Amino acid sequence: MQRPGLLSFSDQFGAVLAANLFLVFLVASAFQAAWAAAPEPWQPPARPEAAPLPRSARLGVSEDSLPAARAVKTPAGASEAMRELVLGVSEVLAGNHRQGAARLAAVLPKAGDQADVAAYYQGLGLYLADDAPAALAALDGLSAHAANSFLGRDALYLAMESAARAGRHDRTLALAEAWLADAEPSLAPEVWLRAAAAAANLGERQKSQDFLRHLVLTFPVSKSAAAGTALARRLLAEPGGAGGFDPDAPDTVLLLAEALVEKGGAEAALTLLDGRTGWSPAQAARADYVRGKALYRLRRPKAAFDAFAKAIPVDPAASLAGWARYHQARCLWRSLEPEDGGRMEALLREVLAGPGRDDPLREAAARHLALLLAERGRFAEALEAAGQLKGLAVGPDLAAQGASLTALLRYVVGDFAGAEADLAAFAGRFPEDDWADGARYWRGRALVGLGRSQEAATAWMEVAAARPNTYYGGRAAAALSGAGDVGERVVASSPTTPPRCPDAAAPPSPAVAAALGKAYALSDAGLPALAEMALEFAAKAAPDRADLAMAHIRAAMESGRRTAAMRTAWRTFGACLLRGTPAELGPLRDALYPRAYSGDVTAALAGSGIDPDIIYSLIRQESFFDPKAVSGAGAVGLMQLMPETAKAMGKKIGIRPNRADLFNPVINIRLGVAFFRERLGQEGTLPATLASYNAGQNRVAVWNAGFGRLGEELFTEFIPYTETRDYVRRITTNAMLYKRLYPGGK
């Protein structure tokens, strides 16, 4: 008999089982609901702020910095509308999205020429409050006339995101396509993804797949590309999806892996390739080739060499095998072992002896062979190798590189007549090439070798008069000053049109006055970042206006946006930067060539005899005087010191810096200057010192042994690493400009 109130064992078991089943049901239901609520990777994120946002939406106003109504700084005579606008913008940026949007909606009819600011931040506030339909409506007018406002492009983007969140696929696609008509890299992956998803939802399968192919192969390292890959797989799995863009097809995987390598995703490329099966022999060889390129980018040359070796046996006569041998040679170039130089030479000669006619491959192999032989001081053999560059059907950039190398080698081996002819032909054949002035300068040197000093001076004057503020302009001017009477007799033919410089007068313009007034009102009201954006937009729209350009340059420098300031300076004052006098460049001097931290530089250089302008130039090149700068490789601070280097140098001068100390300008400059002084003592010349700062002293030791005896100018010309060669030229040029812009050291 069963006792009242007690369950038998079987009844107890049944109750427990029922309870567990019910719990499983609840958990499964909750999981299913969460799964249903979680968006697919290609859909807008659950939280609106999780989507990539333009800079205008990320200006960093915090809750603590919100201006109180009575504390808002506004210009004299500013209206109540301006005060409300500033409060509304600040509230939106600080997180009070709905409150700020409501304030801006109320002030919009009275905002005048700041109506675009009010409309944009009203829309942003509604978007961040997750009211996508209202945000889309608020942004409609501004996004429809995006070209008319500095916030127009951002409004167009934000309207697209709002339309996507609202499920308005047709509107999303239209807005995305409008934005992509003038795309920029930073937000482009998200727009391509939105366009692809909208097209898919509208049943425009081919258009969606075209968008996805472009997204995945052009922006392979972006999160949007990963989401696009998931969408492409979903489309393939749907009825009728076969034959569309397949991100997992072997040939597509190979294309994607190569794109990843080129766009900084070498590790991701290796992950993509590893474990793949089903390759054809040709595809497997291509995979090994791409794997080698990825390993080379990751600075694993020995592993890369072995990967390239696996790509060769499938078809040793094929172009891919030739490129694999060429890249093996490049791997050996990273080695400092003497025998590896011989192995590199043998590989390059093997490529050049191959039966195929792959002109880009032959160009790369012949040029690198010539550089290798020059690096080893074998100039006659280098010239012979460079001779194989002639007549190859390659693009103008590669053809110019080959022509410049051949001409310089002729000069070095004493064939001044051949060098002069090649250099004269270069200036005529590649007039827009970056090295065209270099050809004119070295032609002058070759003419001196031929005893034709008057013609040499004329060649130098052409460079010195047209672009005196460049590397070769400075070299030409120095050569002229050392040419004695010959240089003095040459009359410069000054450019007929004077350059536009910062003090250039321009007629009054109501549009310019309005743009400046709008920006200054924003700045005075406490929104300097928006003011700088407005000025950048206006300066770009009117590149001939010096007043707008200077206003933006000042605002950008105050905001720490040095790259933006340089873009505007080159766009408006490019000719002045190339050939302006110190007086004409004066208004740009403190912005573009500052002598910041001069006391620290002077103290660190005490007793060294080193020109301080070299250090200013070095800092300008490394960090543009940003003490918080950190490179992708981990170099820190003003002089971009690696923590290990700083630690080793600190032991020598009696300090123990940690990484945080390297952000301190005083410590960074002290360590950086000590490092530079040590390198200068070891290398002996400025070009070699700068090269060692960039490429390392072991590699520079090889260069010094091979072509160091040719003198500083030819040492610079024969640096085989393009990045290092340009680095030495830029710092040398900067130092020359510092000297000109600060006469007497003041």
In 3-state terms, what secondary structure has residue 376?
coil
49 is catalytic: no
DSSP letter assigned to residue 659 = G
Q: In this predicted structure, what is the pLDDT of residue 1?
A: 33
For the segment 500-520, the average pLDDT, to the nearest whole number, is 91
Sign, CA dihedral 531-537-539-541, equals: negative
Q: For residue 308, is pLDDT > 50? A: yes
Task: Give dist(CA 406, CA 733) in Å, integer.
Answer: 25
CATH number 3.10.20.30 is the correct assignment for the domain at 598-745: no
Q: For residue 327, is pLDDT > 90? A: yes
Q: Among 1.10.1060, 3.30.70, 2.60.120, 1.25.40, what is the CATH number of 510-592?
A: 1.25.40
Q: pLDDT category, 18, cuts 50, 70, 90?
A: very low
For the segment 417-421, the average pLDDT, to the nearest whole number, is 98
Q: pLDDT category, 67, cuts 50, 70, 90?
A: low
Q: For the domain covering 48-64+76-204+221-237, report its CATH number.
A: 1.25.40.10
Q: Would 259-460 and 510-592 be classified into the same CATH topology?
A: yes
Q: In this predicted structure, what is the pLDDT of residue 289?
A: 98
Higher-pLDDT residue of 32 and 350 is 350
Pick the catalytic residue from 84, 345, 622, 683.
Answer: 622
* DSSP of 436-454: HHHHHHHHHHHHHHTT-HH
C-alpha of 724 from chain center: 17
pTM of the model: 0.87
Higher-pLDDT residue of 604 and 27 is 604
For the segment 309-337, the average pLDDT, to the nearest whole number, is 94
Higher-pLDDT residue of 644 and 506 is 644
Task: Give dist(CA 696, CA 698) in Å, integer.
Answer: 6
Q: pLDDT category, 73, cuts 50, 70, 90?
A: low
Q: For residue 425, is pLDDT > 60? A: yes
CATH architecture of 259-460: Alpha Horseshoe (1.25)
For the segment 463-490, the average pLDDT, to the nearest whole number, is 83
Task: Give dist(CA 727, CA 561) in Å, integer.
Answer: 22
Q: For residue 22, is pLDDT > 80? A: no
For the segment 522-542, the average pLDDT, to the nearest whole number, is 95
The residue among 349, 353, 359 whose CA lies nearest residue 398 is 359
Q: In this predicted structure, what is the pLDDT of residue 185?
A: 84
In 3-state terms, what secondary structure has residue 204?
coil
Mean pLDDT of the chain: 90
The residue among 78, 80, 99, 77 whose CA lies nearest residue 90 is 99
In 3-state terms, what secondary structure has residue 641?
strand
Percentage of residues in the chain having pLDDT higher than 70: 90
Q: In this predicted structure, what is the pLDDT of residue 29?
A: 43
Q: For residue 318, is pLDDT > 90? A: yes
pLDDT digits over 218-274, tens only? 999 999 999 999 999 999 999 887 788 999 999 999 999 999 999 999 999 999 999
For the segment 547-575, the average pLDDT, to the nearest whole number, is 95
The residue among 437, 318, 329, 439 whose CA lies nearest residue 385 is 329
Higher-pLDDT residue of 173 and 500 is 173
Q: In this predicted structure, what is the pLDDT of residue 161?
A: 98
Task: Give dist(CA 85, CA 89) in Å, integer.
Answer: 6
- Sequence ranges of the domains in the chain: 48-64+76-204+221-237, 259-460, 510-592, 598-745
